[in-house]
Amino acid sequence: MFSIRVSPAGRVAWRIVSTLHEAQRRRSFAVISHPDAGKSTLTEALALHARVISEAGAVHGKGGRQGVVSDWMAMEQARGISITSAALQFEYRDCVINLLDTPGHADFSEDTYRVLSAVDSAVMLLDAAKGLEPQTLKLFDVCRHRGIPVLTFINKWDRPGREALELCDELVERIGLQPMPLTWPVGAPGHFQGVLDVPTGEFVRYSRTAGGAKAAPEEHLPPEQAEAEVGEDWTTAQEEYDLLLQSGGEFDEAKFHDASATPVLFGAAVLNFGVRHLLDLVVDLAPRPTPREDVDGAPRPLDAEFSAFVFKVQTGMDRAHRDQVAFARVCSGMFERGMVVTNATTKRPFATKYVQQVFGQKRSTVDTAYPGDVIGLVNATALRVGDTLYAGKPAVRFPGLPQFAPAHFAVATPADLSKAKQFRKGIDQLGAEGVVQLLTSDLRGDGAPVLAAVGPMQFEVATHRMEHEFNAPVKLDRLPYSAVRKLGDSSQRALVDAGRRSEVLDRADGTELAVFEDEMSLRILLRAHPELELEPLVAEG
């Protein structure tokens, strides 16, 4: 037998070529929308069409179907809404898809923002009956702020809803985003027959399957046959699309990539109608990974040594082992399981012995990963959201993830004093994950931490998890604060604490938050002490 020896320079060259090739195969995107627009259902349908699962689940497991893969928490399954992001990875055609499902509820917008920092594009889901809703508008603004290209999927066309032209006009009028339809519905909302496939001019007719659990069969008809068999609905679809085309709706890939226009598709995720079109569009058009800027604004080349940043930390995914998983987006280089990397925050080494790819709650061991991939680092108790991991030299650090300005506050105490240890462990863990912001105050001490949230539903999640995961039920006493500022000068702390309706709370990142009952209380204190240095909190950065 012959053995082939490869020189160190040859190995380096092979790694570079392999990294660049694999990076081009990656498509990393998030599914975002207003609550109840069908994100989790669409995520399930995409996995079905990629043949990763054999049968699509339904929210709440309706109609005798199993529950959706991405909603794995007990509260999600009970309520039928996503309250935490979920990462799914699978192969489709010759690409590796990293799909992140996000919470739609505004109370969990901080989690959604973190997910958007880890993807290269987004699929925005619109309800055909409701169009652009408040949370949808906010998410579009975040995507625009970050320069994230958006594909739009108008969902629930199997139910009564608004006209297709009206929905497209709304995109232009309310958010200045030019719609570029690549499919157009044949049949009014509630009477969905199929779509006009714009690139081919064909009619794609869908057939229902039992409960929508299987991929919907598609029949492709040329225009002449479609006109003969479908009649008026086909003619109407062609006329409507022609009208939009005349107003600038012709597809332009450059406008999609610069986030000034959005490809538009129509479908019904619960029936798996239109889902294949979306999956093919992601593969064909969605951006590949590009160099990510570090804290100094210098792009990190894709073929540089391994680097990644942590955008999410989650415990409780494996009830049998109660481990902690840190989700990291690979930014450069080839990741190899077992390699020792450095945490840029602590400057300490981190061993990557236990690394997994995650499909909902299901896991498989990762041996290698490339730019664009999302990896789950198991037993990563030393990692926090926003940490950068890197191999070799020189060191690299990516910008941290901002925390949103909280609007709700509550003092947490253990319901059972004999479980003080579990209480402290659970509270610290929820703070590390970003489920809530964990604050302390001189007035209360460490035994009565203050939980801060963007929305009150975060408190529900926190109390549920404290009871069911950490066996440490908590009592929450709401605080009356609604106005928040950053204290610019620590020496002025006593002025705020002395107020009747204000105090200073310390956040884990060292930020001192001056909180007030309302804006009037804030103005009264500022009139009494105009020298107070108070700064607004920035929600996004």
Domains present along the chain, CATH in parentheses: 32-83+122-285 (3.40.50.300), 292-390 (2.40.30.10), 408-535 (3.30.70.3280)
Task: Report the run of H or E that residue 487 belongs to, with start and end.
Answer: strand 483-487
* 107 belongs to an annotated ligand binding site: no
Q: How confident is the model at residue 12 (pLDDT cuts 50, 70, 90)?
A: confident
How high is the pLDDT of residue 381? 83
Does residue 16 or residue 230 have the better pLDDT? Answer: 230
Name the least confident of 208-212, 230-234, 245-249, 346-350.
208-212
How high is the pLDDT of residue 361? 60
Q: Supply 215's token pair.
A: 């991929």
Winning range, highest mean pLDDT, from 130-134, 165-169, 215-219, 398-402: 165-169
Q: Write phi, then psi, for 248 (nearest 5 degrees).
A: 100, 15
Q: What angle, rounded to 10 degrees, do the helices at 223-230 and 232-246 form?
A: 130
Query: For 410-431, what is the mean pLDDT?
Result: 91
| Radius of gyration in angstroms for the set of CA atoms belonging to the chain, rounded to a whole number | 25
How far is residue 333 CA from its own chain's centroid? Answer: 23
Q: How confident is the model at residue 78 (pLDDT cuts 50, 70, 90)?
A: very low
Q: Is a pLDDT exceeding 70 seen at residue 531? A: yes
How high is the pLDDT of residue 70? 46
Name the least confident of 164-173, 317-326, 432-441.
317-326
* 61 belongs to an annotated ligand binding site: no
Q: Model confidence over 113-168: pLDDT tens digits?
A: 888 889 999 999 999 999 998 878 877 887 888 889 999 999 999 999 999 999 99
Does residue 423 or residue 1 have the better pLDDT? Answer: 423
Q: What is the mean pLDDT of the chain?
A: 86
* SS3 (DSSP) at 257: helix
What are the start-end ranges of the H helices in 471-514? 493-497
Q: How confident is the model at residue 190 (pLDDT cuts 50, 70, 90)?
A: very high
How high is the pLDDT of residue 252? 95
Q: How confident is the model at residue 3 (pLDDT cuts 50, 70, 90)?
A: low
Does residue 14 or residue 212 have the better pLDDT? Answer: 14
Task: Report the run of H or E that residue 238 belongs to, with start and end.
Answer: helix 232-246
* 34 belongs to an annotated ligand binding site: no
* Residue 418 DSSP class: G
How high is the pLDDT of residue 57? 41
Q: Is a pLDDT exceeding 90 seen at residue 202? A: yes
How high is the pLDDT of residue 43? 83
Q: How confident is the model at residue 477 (pLDDT cuts 50, 70, 90)?
A: very high
* 211 belongs to an annotated ligand binding site: no
Q: What is the dihedral of CA 150, 176, 167, 266, to 10 degrees?
A: -20
Q: How far is CA 247 from CA 174, 180, 251, 441, in A?
A: 16, 10, 12, 58
Query: For 346-363, what is the mean pLDDT?
Result: 81
Does residue 475 or residue 406 have the better pLDDT? Answer: 475
How high is the pLDDT of residue 173? 94
Q: How confident is the model at residue 322 (pLDDT cuts 50, 70, 90)?
A: low
Looking at the chain, how many residues does it have?
541
Task: Report the run of H or E that residue 349 belongs to, with start and end.
Answer: strand 348-351
d(CA 408, CA 397): 32
How high is the pLDDT of residue 59? 40
Q: Is a pLDDT exceeding 80 seen at residue 403? A: no
* 136 belongs to an annotated ligand binding site: no
Query: For 160-184, what is the mean pLDDT?
Result: 95
Closest CA to 275 of 159, 158, 142, 120: 158
How high is the pLDDT of residue 228? 95
